[in-house]
Amino acid sequence: MSHDIFLTQQGYEKLKNELDLLKTVKRREIAKALEKARSMGDLSENAEYDAAKDAQAHLEKRIRELEDKLSRARIIEHEDIPKDKVYIGAKVGLRDEDTEEELEYCLVSPAEADYILGKISIESPIGKALLGRKVDEVVEIKVPAGILKYKILSISR
């Protein structure tokens, strides 16, 4: 049973662009590498041929994964998601109750998560703890380093 994958428009485009690149440029590169390796003769002892076949298998696997994700994708900007609570696609302004530091996260699907860009998965400990919460709520989140205490300052899309 396959389930929907919620993506932002930006996340959808990123996966689609990667798929297009893999199906065109990368497939051609691997075909050339295979052709070159074949021209070297005996395939049974040909490390370059084995490496190219291995790269081809990985490439085709990634293409299948991307095609599957994109076929199940639902763009969250098009969904009717409440704006007064934290759900996927929300930008959440937080204040760390211990350090007074303010931070902002965007909650996304695991396929789009990128901590460096402030995009956290709804399946991460912080993401799970924030889901369904409202502005002014204080959330305690158990993480490997201890307990985080965040106050929700804002929710936007």
What CATH number does residue 47 fall under? Answer: 1.10.287.180
Same domain, 84 and 107: yes
Closest C-alpha to 112, from 5, 3, 19, 20: 5
Q: Give the range of the structural domain holding residue 42, as residue numbers without chain letter.
A: 5-77
Q: Into how many domains does the chain fold?
A: 2
Global confidence as pTM: 0.63
What confidence tens digit (pLDDT) does each residue in 15-67 have? 999 999 999 999 999 999 999 888 887 777 788 888 999 999 999 999 999 99
Question: Which whole number is the average pLDDT over 77-93?
Answer: 80
What confidence tens digit (pLDDT) does each residue in 112-144 have? 888 899 999 999 999 999 999 999 999 999 888
pLDDT score for 3: 80
Q: Which of 54, 77, 100 is the last residue of a domain?
A: 77
89 Cβ neighbours under 8 A, 6+ residues apart: 6, 8, 76, 77, 79, 81, 106, 107, 108, 157
